[in-house]
Amino acid sequence: MHELSIMQSVVNICEQNAAGNRVKAVTIEVGELSGVVPDALEFCFEACTKGTLLEGARLVIDVIAPSANCKDCGAKFSVKSYYESCPECGSSAIEILSGEELRVKELEV
């Protein structure tokens, strides 16, 4: 379960940026194409925050839906995977615009 090591990294990032203050809430963004399971992150949160500045904090996970841009016709559209073609022109030359995120968005201290 790589979500455990991801959550440990999130806790480290938050502690470094909290400047010694108790953290009340942390918001993270998780893209649907990131390969990270939000429920698994929630499961790991309590264990990873025990004895840290984040103990007792609230975890908010914003799930980001994937979108893409067609490099041939310029259409912007929603996708479910990396291997979709443009619904406008059928091209497979697409660029993922969102949905791969995995970042700490906000920290409430």
Q: Do 18 and 109 contact (CB within 8 A), yes or no?
A: yes
Q: Tokens for 67? A: 């979108």
Q: What is the pLDDT of residues 45-104, one digit of tens each?
A: 999 999 999 999 999 999 999 999 999 999 999 999 999 999 999 999 999 999 999 999
Q: Which CATH architecture has domain 2-108?
A: 2-Layer Sandwich (3.30)
pTM score over 0.85: yes
CA torsion sign for 11, 16, 22, 25 is: negative
